[in-house]
Amino acid sequence: MLSFAGVLALLAIGILAIVVATPAKSTTGKSQSNDRGPDSCSPVIIAHRGASGYAPEHTLGSYALAITMGADYVEPDLVMTKDGQLISRHDNELGLTTDVANRTEFADRYRTQTIDSNAVSGWFTEDFTLAEIKSLRAIERIPDTRPGNARMDGAFQVLTFQEIIDLVKSLQISQRRTIGIYPEIKHSSHFKTLGLPMEELVVNTFHQNGYRDSDAPVYIQSFEINNLKELKRITNLRLLQLYDSKSLQPADQVLLGADITYGNMSTPEGLAEVAKYASAVGPDKSYIIPRNEDNSLGDPTSFVADAHAVGLKVHPYTFRAENTFLPKEFQSDNPLKEARGDLTGELQKFVEAGIDGLFSDQPDIALRFRGPCL
């Protein structure tokens, strides 16, 4: 009997063959059969870094599995290479998610730099060409929590943004539905200081692939503010403002010497300002239902109602099935680090709080909870 990892590997090989062999005919970003779109059902299910609870994040296997599970959107994080190519990694530091640390030919690329006011050591995408990046292989970010994923270390390359778009467009044919793409622009200010701005390149890539208007199956997200305002000026595609912890500031605002915090942005007045350039907000879950000191869920806040009052959709992050991520009341008794609890129970509480969509590492669980989408 094939292992789950073996099944995934075969799936990825088969999907890659389909992508290579099948022309992505749509020039609008929408499925030609157009049975349903990614916003047809509620809550919208966004596969966080693909189906990253089952395969290493941001890989062909992770994205393909998420799509075949039925996810409405796939979410690639975008960073830049030395030669100005968009690739999908959660961070520009490569040590956590690739085998670069074992590649002696790149040992001299290891360094320390400041990114978004934090000192970070490692190997960075901006020091590698796309060809060099393609020689690396993906590994699981959290192998202690997801040992099953770690069995696939070395199986997948790092993908470009265009390769993800090609995958999505090709799978729309067999899936007979429109699949959304939900990229996050990572470390925008950092890359701009290096002469590698991403915003126009992301927009041009979308526009060249037929994604142009506010009804396209796309959201572009960022934790920063000014790059979203810049995007608002150059595209009609929908934008989402991400929210980190309330006491923190967006990286671009720190550089400007401004005093705005994510907490300021979560007030009714702050949300009204965000609504001037964004269509939706992506808060940490605690903005909606904070946790008590014992890690149980507290009472819902007014965040969802306040956002809806100014016309913003609410797509919180991140829903994960492992005990280590769940509220106390939804954890199982299994002591293993990789043990899973009752994610469905947590989802129920947040849907009752009125959310419009959600990011999940295990989109299949969220999809079963939501039920059939016709």
What does the alpha-carbon distance between residue 289 and residue 183 come to, in Å, rounded to a whole number?
Answer: 25
58: annotated active-site residue: no
**CA distance linking residue 72 with residue 358, whole number of Å:** 10
CA atoms lying within 13 Å on the CB side of residue 58: 28
d(CA 352, CA 3): 37
Q: Hey, how many other C-beta atoms are within 10 angstroms of the C-beta on 132?
A: 18
Look up tokens 């009052």; give the residue.
Answer: 309
Any bridge partners for residue 313, and if so which?
A: 280
- Decide: 191 and 198 in contact? Cβ < 8 Å: yes
Which amino acid is residue 339, in one-letter code?
A: A
Catalytic residue, candidates 48, 187, 190, 315: 48
Is beta strand 280-283 parallel, antiparallel or unpaired with respect to 238-243? parallel
Is 217:211 a contact under the CB 8 Å cutoff?
yes
Catalytic residue among 58, 90, 187, 190: 90
Residue 48 among the catalytic residues: yes
Angle, CA 212 vertex, CA 206 and CA 217 arms, to 5°: 80
Closest CA to 221 of 206, 236, 242: 242
Q: Cis link prior to 38 (omega < 30° from 0)? A: no
Task: Tell me whether the omega of the peptide bond preceding residue 217 falls within 30 degrees of 0, making it cis.
Answer: no
d(CA 366, CA 71): 9
CA pair distance 270, 266, nearest whole angstrom: 6
Q: Give the three-class secondary structure for 187.
A: coil
300 with 267: CB under 8 angstroms? no
Give the residue among 215, 167, 163 at the shortest CA–CA distance from 67: 167
Give me the active site residues, please: 48, 90
